[in-house]
Amino acid sequence: MKLFKNKGLVLAGIIIIGFSFWGFEKISDKDFNIIKNLDVFYSLFREVNLFYVDDTDPEKLIETGINSMLESLDPYTVYIPESKMDDFSFMTTGKYGGIGSLIRKSGDYVMIAEPYEGSPSALSGLRAGDLIISVDNYSTKGQELSIISEKLKGDPNTEVRLVIQKPGSKKQEKITLIRKEIQIDNVSYSGMLAEKTGYIMLSNFTLGASREVENAFVKLKSEGAEKLILDLRGNPGGLLIEAVRICNLFVPKGELIVSTRGKVKQWDQEYRTQSEPLDTEIPIIVLVNRASASASEIVSGALQDLDRAFIVGQRTFGKGLVQTTRELKYNGQLKVTTAKYYIPSGRCIQALDYSNRNEDGSVGHIPDSLISKYTTKNGRVVFDGGGVQPDLVDTSEELSQLSIQLYINNMFFDFATDYVVKNPVEPKLEGFAISESDYEKFKKFVISKGFDYQTQSEGKLNDLIKVAKSEKFYTEAEAEILALREKLKHDNDKDLDIFKTEIVSFLNEEIISRYYFQKGRIKLSVDDDKTIEKSLKLLSKDNELKEILSGI
């Protein structure tokens, strides 16, 4: 620490000398304020390190200062130190070296949440629910998930030694895995649906996403696909250029897909399709929801603006900001927002206005008074000011509070783990569903775990009670409030019956994933997806869809 302080004093001397030479030149008020505040920051940093009552971590203080400064701009402008560059590379390439498994906390230890099909973890027999007791003799007990994740990662073809404990067993086993390069597919699933309709689920926009979509589409066409559903629900986005290339598969060469505009002119660019398309005629429905963001919004918004696809689902997230990476010293990088993007109609779909924060520092949505009307290529009316509004709004994805809480509290995951222990034989994927007796077992399982939850109505009522008590009105209204509480009171057993269909779907998907991995989960969910059902009905009315998109 003393060494760090001494280096800091030397650095300060250099900075101050630099400021003094700078002072010989005429500088603007803005430049002077920058110099002054940097000097104040260093002085404050030095005094805290010298005189604070307890030992300080200078590196952590600086990192906190950097992160707080960037957080005041927007959530996407971040500093990436050298130690985090592997994670950043994974976000853009979808590749990393490791055992190929999602992990999560389970009590004091770490647990396998989902091994990737064909990965070292899956091939070695690791399954969801297996506890990881140690990694290379390093105990996972009480450790942060991020620390264990880093220990599991490493260069391909290197060994990692695990001690694991299988569900339902007290025996600990030692296994050795060879790390491999793990490639996370952008196209999570593709296949044929009814009525000659192809389906592609795109989960990310890392490097090569457009090639994966192209390969999937060509295969579907060879299998007789005459219509297409492109599923972007839950896709957080990624590389802008991959979004442009995916649009290029379905629209003519030379078409404007997205443009970017920033404070610095070098970020003002237009991105047009560069190649001849695969198919400009096939009817397309794009599925989106609130978690579809960034590149997902470029694809859905551009295809909507060009009247090339019909959009179904929920209004998208509304991230219309573009980030660029800038190299920094000591192998770090700055990911900084440099521009906003605009889709073909000219609209920007950014939902939050980070440049004009509220007095309390919170960020507000673009006000309705500033939302503008635009038109698609064929004259259909669309709006900016917050995500892509679907052509058909569908709320089939809306979940009950009960299902959400069961998921958060790992009830589906833990029951599936018990189920597989008792049913080791692989069931048939097609049409898989748990039995009535299995659901009754799940209800008893939930009760045995002491699960309870609070409905939104109960939560709002509790907030009302707190306010009423603080304002001294509670006593006067106590009888009415207690009567309302009784009416709103939920019953776990009753609610498990009311939302049975929804809960059974979650259970089916979680259980089948233990036997058939992620593709099995997706296949089962697609077969039971109400939004896809509605989309298939729309595609069966091909002429009506063409009329809508033509602006007639």
Span 372-389, average pLDDT: 93
Q: Which of 352, 373, 396 is the last residue of a domain?
A: 396
Catalytic residues: 294, 305, 319
- Residue 105: pLDDT above 70? yes
For the chain, the average pLDDT equals: 90
Please indicate, yes or no, if residue 253 is contained in any of the structural domains. yes
Span 529-539, average pLDDT: 94
Residues 308 and 421 in one domain: no
Please indicate, yes or no, if residue 138 is contained in any of the structural domains. yes
CA-based angle 322:327:333, to the nearest 5? 70
Residues 245 and 375 in one domain: yes
Please indicate, yes or no, if residue 382 is contained in any of the structural domains. yes
| Structure confidence at residue 487 as a pLDDT band (50, 70, 90) | confident
Residue 543 is predicted with a pLDDT of 82
Residue 491 is predicted with a pLDDT of 84
> 189 forms bridges with which residues in the sheet?
201
| Structure confidence at residue 396 as a pLDDT band (50, 70, 90) | confident
- Per residue in 69-85, pLDDT (tens digit) is 999 999 999 999 888 88
Residue 42 is predicted with a pLDDT of 92
Q: Give the DSSP H/E element, type plus range, for residue 539.
A: helix 530-540
Amino acid at 76: Y
- Per residue in 137-194, pLDDT (tens digit) is 999 999 999 999 999 999 999 999 999 999 989 999 999 999 999 999 999 999 999 8
Query: What whole-number distance in Å separates Cα of residue 163 and Cα of residue 106?
Result: 15
Torsion of CA 134, 137, 139, 140, to 10 degrees: -40
Other Cβ atoms closer than 10 A to 194: 10
Residues 239 and 353 in one domain: yes
Please indicate, yes or no, if residue 541 is contained in any of the structural domains. no
Residue 26 is predicted with a pLDDT of 59
What are the E-state strand segments in 66-196? Answer: 78-80, 95-98, 101-106, 109-115, 131-135, 138-139, 159-165, 172-178, 180-183, 187-193
- Per residue in 518-529, pLDDT (tens digit) is 999 999 999 889
Local structure of residue 416 (DSSP, 8 states): H
Query: What whole-number distance in Å separates Cα of residue 82 and Cα of residue 97?
Result: 17
Residue 423 is predicted with a pLDDT of 95
Residues 435 and 516 in one domain: yes
Residues 197 and 306 in one domain: yes
Runs of H (alpha helix) within 356-491 = 401-408, 411-422, 436-448, 456-470, 474-488
Instruction: Evaluate whether 225 touches 198 at the Cβ level (below 8 Å).
Output: yes
Residues 506 and 478 in one domain: no
- Residue 14: pLDDT above 80? no
- Per residue in 35-44, pLDDT (tens digit) is 999 999 999 9
Span 229-257, average pLDDT: 97
What percent of the chain has a predicted confidence (pLDDT) above 70?
95
Q: Which of 154, 183, 212 is the last residue of a domain?
A: 183
- Residue 16: pLDDT above 50? no
Residue 18 is predicted with a pLDDT of 44
Range of the domain at 484: 456-488
Please indicate, yes or no, if residue 292 is contained in any of the structural domains. yes
Residue 132 is predicted with a pLDDT of 97
- Residue 135: pLDDT above 90? yes
Say which CATH number the domain at 206 has. 3.90.226.10
Report the candidate in 419, 423, 351, 359 with the shortest Cα–Cα distance to residue 389: 351
Which of 22-31, 79-88, 423-432 has the lowest average pLDDT? Answer: 22-31
Residue 27 is predicted with a pLDDT of 66
Residue 490 is predicted with a pLDDT of 82
Query: What whole-number distance in Å separates Cα of residue 350 and Cα of residue 218?
Result: 33
Please indicate, yes or no, if residue 81 is contained in any of the structural domains. no
Q: How many domains does the chain have?
A: 5
| Structure confidence at residue 5 as a pLDDT band (50, 70, 90) | very low
Residues 349 and 429 in one domain: no
Say which CATH number the domain at 139 has. 2.30.42.10
Query: What whole-number distance in Å separates Cα of residue 254 and Cα of residue 261?
Result: 20
- Per residue in 293-308, pLDDT (tens digit) is 999 999 999 999 999 9
Which of 331-340, 344-353, 481-490, 518-527 has the lowest average pLDDT? Answer: 481-490
Residue pointed to by tokens 């709103």: 488
Please indicate, yes or no, if residue 546 is contained in any of the structural domains. no
Residues 169 and 208 in one domain: no
| Structure confidence at residue 233 as a pLDDT band (50, 70, 90) | very high
DSSP state letters, 210-263: HHHHHHHHHHHHHTT--EEEEE-TT---B-HHHHHHHHHTTS-TT-EEEEEEES
Amino acid at 512: I
Residues 420 and 358 in one domain: no
CA 532 to the chain's CA centroid: 21
Span 533-543, average pLDDT: 90
Please indicate, yes or no, if residue 328 is contained in any of the structural domains. yes
Residues 438 and 521 in one domain: yes
Residues 294 and 327 in one domain: yes
Amino acid at 282: I
Span 416-430, average pLDDT: 95
Residues 471 and 518 in one domain: no
- Residue 9: pLDDT above 60? no
Residue partners of 32: CB distance under 8 A and separation at least 6: none
